[in-house]
Amino acid sequence: MTETCYSKGQKVILVTSQIKNGKWSCKFSIPGFNHLDRGLQDQDSSKGYKTEWEARTNAFQRAKLLLTGTADMPQEPLLEKA
C-alpha cells in the first residue's frame, strides 16, 4: 500500500508491505532527496511490526529525522514492537 504524507512541507511517500512472517514493513521515499531507506532489508527476517500502522509510523518518523537534518539515521525501530 502506498500513502503520501507531508512533513515540513515536504512530500514523503510510504510503501507498506506484509513480509513472509505475517508482520509488516514500510519503506519511505522523499522526492528530491538522494537516499535509500532499506526498511527491514538488512535485519533479521523475524523482525517487523505487528500492525501496518506501526510500520508506517516508524517509516514516517525515520523520514522526519532525515528532513530535520539528523545525520545518523537510527538502525533500530523507533517504536517498541509487541
pLDDT of residue 33: 77
Using the predicted structure, report yes or no on whether residue 4 has a pLDDT greater than 90: yes
DSSP secondary structure letters along the chain = -EEEEEETTEEEEEEEEE-TTS-EEEEEE-TT------TTTTS-TT--BSSHHHHHHHHHHHHHHHHTT-SS--SS-SS---
pLDDT at 37: 63
For 19-75, what is each residue's pLDDT tens digit?
888 999 999 988 887 766 655 444 444 578 999 999 999 999 988 988 887 645 444
